[in-house]
Amino acid sequence: MLVPLACGLVAAALVWLLQARARGGSATRARGYRELTFPQSLRIGVLVLVVFSFVIVYAAAQARPDQALTASIVSACFVVGSFYLVWCVFLTRVWWTRDGIGSRHVFGRERFLRWDDVEAGGYLAWCQVFYVRGAGTRIWYSPMHAGPRALHRYMARRLDPVRVPMMRLHDGPDHTEPGR
């Protein structure tokens, strides 16, 4: 009972540490563009998770026959999750220039969205990513990147402000109309 609780607390502390380290980073500057990168601490954490997932696979191989299915499912989830994180952290790039914002990854095409074509942007809480959309293209980037504040400041200077209607909690729709 105490071992799973201790492991959960250690995992929560590790996630908190990675988020705290990721917040203060800045975007990488290169000639003519700036790039969102992941902090070194997050990269190391992902590599540790990959190694840990193979330890989980080894432990699953040692499971009793009546626990083999559950152990296989858990180990497969760890392996798939760790490889997804490797893809996100090491194989995906997001950058911006004076002309627009772009992204590319190893297994897909390169995307580029000109600043003049930006139609919308925001934050999706359910998958915890920022996005910029327009001209049939959507660029995604993570709050765990180092440098989204610099990108947001640049976008605030570059893009026209979007008018968002403000609605207070008590200003909801009026359901007192006749017939309702």
Q: Does any domain span residue 143?
A: yes
**Is 113 among the domain residues?**
yes
**pLDDT at position 41, please?**
83
Determine the Cα angle at 62 with ends 58 and 64, to 5°.
145
Domain that holds residue 116: 2-158
180: in domain: no
Residue 68 lies in a domain: yes
Select the more confidently predicted residue: 134 or 9. 134
Helices (H), the chain: 2-23, 40-61, 68-90, 148-158
pLDDT of residue 82: 93
Structurally, the chain folds into a number of domains equal to 1
Please check the confidence at residue 172 and state whether its pLDDT lies above 90: no
Nearest residue to 93 (alpha-carbon basis) of 116, 78, 115, 109: 109
Query: Please, which pLDDT band fits residue 147 given cuts at 50, 70 and 90?
Result: confident
In-domain check, residue 176: no
Tokens of 48: 């540790």
> Could you give the count of Cα atoms lying within 13 Å of 168 in the half-sphere of its Cβ?
2
69 occurs within a structural domain? yes
Secondary structure letter of residue 163 according to DSSP: P
pLDDT digits (tens, 9 = 90+) for 41-74: 888 889 998 998 998 899 889 888 898 899 899 9
And the tokens for 36?
């969102």
pLDDT 10s digits, 15-45: 676 666 555 566 667 677 889 988 888 888 8
Over its C-alpha atoms, the chain yields an Rg (Å, rounded) of 22
pLDDT of the residue at 150: 86
* 165: in domain: no
Look at residue 175 in the predicted model and tell me its pLDDT. Answer: 45
d(C-alpha 98, C-alpha 111), whole Å? 16
- Predicted TM-score (pTM) of the model is 0.69
Whether 171 is covered by a domain: the verdict is no
